[in-house]
A and B are shown apart, each in its own frame.
Chain A
Amino acid sequence: MPGLNVVIAVDGSKHAEHALQYYIDQLHRPDHIVTALYTTPPIIPAFYSTPYAVMTTDIVAACHRDQETHAVKLKVSCDEIAKNLQNYKFVHLKDIESPGHGIVNYVKENNVQYVVIGTRGLGTVKRTILGSVSDHVLHHVHVPVTIVSN
């Protein structure tokens, strides 16, 4: 049976964790090949500089390490949630300025046929119902998208 590529977008938020768990409990099918997809932005020294402090290479290196630490932590928790899946992997895309664009491009480039995403993630304005990344993905991929609310 040919497999179907499925992407669950994660970002470290509880909403994303819930979306992954919900997919596994309610939506998963044995022929789904699952990818938990995580994107991180580029670390641009100039962007983080202020008039009072310029980012030194030490700080840049620290930011990279920080990013890596978070990614590893997230991978560990996703791997744990997905431990009973046959076909599963965690993918960390780096230097992605816009998570929405990053996810949409990954979907196009990897023949992904189904996307699962939460209604919102980290650092979103609480009064919007659908977060900006979820909204972007929903409107720009040409495959089925499941939006998992809490």
Chain B
Amino acid sequence: MSSKTVVIAVDGSKNADHAFEKYCEIMHLRSNKLIALHIEDQLAIPADQALTLSESHYEKICKEHNEDIEALKANYRSKAQRYHIEKYEFRSLLNREPGVLICEFAENVGAIQIVMGTRGLGLIRRTVLGSVSDYVVTHAKTPVTIIPMAAN
């Protein structure tokens, strides 16, 4: 059976974690290739320090940023292992417009679906899509699966 690619957008949030687990639990097929796609935000440099940032301080920020991504990568890798996902990849890409990148990436790899979490508001019944999920649902050519946080 030919392998089908599924792209799951992850950002380290509880919503993304839950979406990842739920996908593995109820949707993953053994023949699927799962790509966890992480879109990096720009480095968080405090505005008042931007002009006077020392090289060492900048290096420190870069190092912390990379460590955060490594931790995120390890977190999702351990989930993939727990669910025995045989074909699994983690990709971290730098971009300002995550919605656009997710749609393009999914199209480029010929994904059969894009999986995303929501920005659930817990006690409020109605699930609320975050701006990225909302963008992807309305713009992706690839079918999109939205996985909300469990209500009950």
Contact = CB atoms under 8 A, between A and B. Distances in A.
A146 to B, nearest CB: 4
A147 B143 contact: yes
Given A142-B148, A142-B152, A146-B143, A29 B27 contact: yes
B148 to A, nearest CB: 6
Contact of A130 (B26, B138, B145, B147): B138
A19 B6 CA distance: 17
- Chain A CB within 10 A, most for which of B4, B26, B138, B143: B143
A138 B146 contact: yes
Contacts of B4: 26
B62 interface: no
Given A29-B29, A149-B143, A140 B113 contact: no
A35 interface: no
Given A142-B152, A143-B148, A22 B143 contact: yes
Contact of B26 (A4, A139, A147, A148): A4
A114 B26 contact: yes
A59 interface: no
Interface in A23-69: 26-27, 29
Contacts of B33: none
Given A22-B143, A144-B26, A147-B143, A139 B126 contact: yes
Contacts of A29: 26-27, 29
A116 B151 CA distance: 19
B15 interface: no
B144 A147 contact: yes
24 contacts: A22-B143, A26-B4, A26-B113, A26-B143, A27-B27, A27-B113, A113-B26, A114-B26, A129-B138, A130-B137, A130-B138, A138-B129, A138-B146, A139-B127, A140-B126, A141-B148, A142-B148, A144-B26, A144-B27, A145-B146, A146-B144, A146-B145, A149-B141, A149-B142
Interface of B: 4, 22-23, 26-27, 29, 112-113, 125-127, 129, 137-148, 150-152
Interface of A: 4, 22, 26-27, 29, 113-114, 129-130, 138-149
Given A27-B113, A145-B145, 16 more contacts: A26-B4, A26-B143, A27-B112, A29-B27, A114-B26, A130-B138, A138-B137, A139-B127, A142-B151, A144-B22, A145-B146, A146-B144, A147-B137, A147-B146, A149-B140, A149-B144
Pick the 8 closest A-B CB pairs, nearest first: A142-B151, A146-B145, A144-B147, A26-B112, A148-B143, A129-B138, A147-B144, A145-B146
